[in-house]
Amino acid sequence: MLAWLAEQRIQEAMRNGEFADLPGHGKPLELEDLSGVPEELRMSFKIMKNAGVVPEELTLRAECITLEELLAACLSSGNSDPAGRKSLESRLTVKRMRLEQLLRERGIGGSSAFTQYGDEIRRRLAGQEK
């Protein structure tokens, strides 16, 4: 009975245009897909996101991708700076090792095969078949 009454009041307010000036009116909702996050972590992830905090593994993944793109650009441009390329490769190795350690601590991807598989997927998506 209470749900029916609430629905009637909402419908009446809509007919009277009481919701027309709300922020976001007429725009699609931005829904968050947290289906891949365990239920017990969802609230903490939302709080972190709202506070502007990004989990370290996401930051590391983004840094790895950036370093991979820089290395690819060096290789494709024929960059003759071996020291710079070596520095990028070293930084990428350190980031990958830290990422692998974090994932192992969190029970995700317990081996380097997981990382290599991810690298292979990225190569294929980028059109860089072996």
Q: What is the DSSP string of 39-76?
A: HHHHHHHHHHHHTT---HHHHHHHHHHHHHHHHHHHHH
- Which has more confidence, 30 or 18? 18
- Per-residue pLDDT at 91: 94
Per-residue model confidence as pLDDT tens digits over 42-54: 888 888 888 988 7
**pLDDT value for 81:** 78
Q: Tell me what the mean pLDDT of segment 9-29 comes to.
A: 86
Q: How far apart are CA 86 and CA 76, in angstroms?
A: 15
Query: What's the pLDDT band for 12 if we cut at 50, 70, 90?
Result: very high
In this predicted structure, the answer to whether residue 59 has a pLDDT above a threshold of 90 is no
